């Protein structure tokens, strides 16, 4: 590696045989003229989506606000209370709907969440939906990154045929569609996602063979890393050291899960082999992979299916050894509703942990949370009746200082979720006048 007094390119990699580790945003990436004025490196904007299946117990979800105000009260609702440490970076929006998801099903909850489009009723391969909002963003802000977008999930069920009331399984399997006829499969295996972010060249088998020769992919970039460290200032050296420690820790957890998987005789049918046995550990790992992808600017657009619609996963780690899907059809049974709300709260807590990590990760003149926008939500409101109105919806991030957080925006009547999608697109530099069935933007979310 040869460095000059010119600013370090933003797309700088540490390279080794079969691997390429992108760097986080460094002060050395500031042009020399502005560096003299101690101007911090300019960050980029990022957009992410986290899908929660099967709605929520809205009585325990809906937050209270201060009197005569839309400000969130100090005491958050039972499901959202884990978000307290990042309360000023979130806004809860109530009474959004997916009109095109009716007549109502689990399949259309998933398919309409990012498309706001009506899925063609078919059990065959002539499926038709619409281009999803993440892919519209990826075409505009993802062109300069290694991956235009990243699609990940927790459940890798390659079901085909009919899955839900006459709808092909493709609608339930995929959140992202690059065109009305082109779904983008999500990856649930941490090792494969890790290699997507840091592998370079050759087939997956070839990269596996290379990586097995040493304990970590970072061993392969050691020489390049030493050459770079000699040319950087103390702050940048510390930033790289912390970043590479994070990469190594994520890799260590993936390796531990792969070893553990060999000893499991009856794996969870919703869980691919080679991932952590506990749902929470798997989800944290997938969130951390998103953090690394953002930190290294490998991608700026991400979608994460936190769990699949109609998932029968149980959650013994939080005291709920009952399948999620049957609980969601609770028939107003108080015990079932309480158990479902515990699952809702657990899912939100994992998202909160992720947001807190983003808030602690430097990025230019702020943090990754300051320069990102994430939408967390579901395509179902009340799962007991397959209702697509009053959807549980959270927007998190800073939008480079433009988002007005700590708020609860409540609409008097059902308002298209597409309005929120349109607002987020506009804030990350993708100006559109309309998306799907939008009727405008969300007033007051940004200022």
Per DSSP, what are the bridge partners of residue 136? none
- Mean pLDDT for the stretch of residues 137-166: 82
Q: How confident is the model at residue 263 (pLDDT cuts 50, 70, 90)?
A: low
pTM of the model: 0.88
Share of the chain above pLDDT 90, in %: 60
* Residue 278 to residue 291: CA distance in whole angstroms: 20
pLDDT tens-place string over residues 84-121: 999 999 999 999 999 999 987 899 999 999 999 999 99
pLDDT at 34 over 60: no
pLDDT at 400 over 80: no
Name residue 71's beta-bridge partners: 407
Cβ atoms of 239 and 362 closer than 8 Å: yes
> Hey, how many other C-beta atoms are within 10 angstroms of the C-beta on 392?
25
Residue of 393, 352, 355 whose CA lies nearest to 375 = 393
Q: What is the pLDDT of residue 12?
A: 76
Exposed/middle/buried for 184, CB within 10 Å: 0-12, 13-18, 19+? middle
For residue 65, what are the β-bridge partners? 72
* Domains of the chain, start order: 43-188+275-427 (3.40.720)
Residue 67 pLDDT > 90: no
Pick the residue with more confidence: 376 or 67?
376
What residues are paired with 320 via a beta bridge? 315
DSSP 389: B
Q: Give the model's confidence band at 261: pLDDT under 50 very low, under 70 low, under 90 confident, else very high.
A: low
| Tokens 């149980």 sit on residue | 314
Higher pLDDT, 135 or 74: 135
Phi, psi (deg, nearest 5) at residue 38: 60, 40
Q: What is the pLDDT of residue 4?
A: 41
């Amino acid at each position: 590696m040869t460095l000059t007094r010119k600013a370090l390119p933003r797309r700088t990699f540490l390279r080794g045989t079969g691997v390429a580790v992108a760097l986080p945003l460094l002060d050395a990436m500031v042009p020399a003229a502005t560096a003299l004025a101690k101007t911090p490196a300019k960050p980029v904007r990022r957009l992410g989506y986290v899908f929660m299946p099967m709605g929520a117990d809205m009585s325990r979800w809906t937050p209270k606000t201060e009197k005569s105000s839309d400000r969130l009260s100090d005491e958050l609702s039972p499901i959202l209370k884990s978000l307290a440490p990042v309360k000023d970076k979130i806004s809860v929006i109530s009474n959004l709907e997916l009109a095109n998801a009716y007549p109502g099903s689990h399949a259309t909850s998933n398919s309409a969440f990012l498309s706001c489009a009506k899925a063609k009723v078919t059990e065959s391969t002539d499926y038709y939906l619409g281009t999803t909002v993440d892919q519209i963003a990826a075409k505009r802000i993802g062109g300069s990154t290694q991956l235009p977008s990243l699609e990940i999930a927790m459940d890798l069920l390659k079901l085909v045929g009919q899955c839900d009331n006459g709808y092909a399984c493709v609608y339930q399997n995929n959140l992202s569609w690059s065109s009305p006829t082109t779904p983008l499969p999500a990856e649930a295996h941490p090792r494969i996602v890790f290699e997507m972010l840091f592998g370079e060249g050759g087939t997956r088998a070839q990269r596996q063979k290379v990586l097995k020769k040493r304990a970590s992919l970072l061993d392969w970039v050691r020489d390049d890393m030493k050459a770079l460290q000699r040319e950087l200032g103390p702050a940048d050296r510390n930033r790289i050291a912390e970043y590479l420690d994070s990469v190594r820790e994520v890799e260590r957890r993936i390796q531990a899960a792969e070893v553990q998987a060999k000893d499991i005789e009856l794996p969870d049918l919703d869980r691919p082999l080679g991932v952590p046995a506990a749902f929470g550990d798997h989800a944290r790992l997938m969130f951390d992979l998103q953090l690394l992808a953002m930190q290294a600017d490998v991608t700026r657009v991400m979608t994460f299916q936190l769990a699949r619609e109609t998932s029968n996963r149980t959650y013994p780690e939080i005291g709920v050894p009952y399948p999620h899907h049957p609980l969601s059809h609770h028939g107003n049974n108080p015990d079932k509703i309480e158990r479902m709300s515990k699952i809702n709260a657990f899912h939100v807590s994992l998202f909160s942990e992720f947001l807190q990590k983003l808030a602690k990760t430097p990025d230019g003149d702020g943090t990754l949370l300051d320069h990102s926008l994430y939408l967390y939500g579901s395509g179902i409101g009340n799962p007991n009746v397959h209702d697509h109105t009053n959807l549980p919806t959270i927007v998190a991030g800073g939008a480079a200082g433009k988002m007005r957080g700590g708020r609860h925006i409540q609409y008097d009547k059902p308002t298209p979720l597409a309005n929120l999608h349109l607002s987020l697109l506009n804030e990350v530099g993708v100006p559109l006048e309309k998306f799907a069935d939008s009727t405008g933007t969300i007033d007051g979310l940004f200022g």
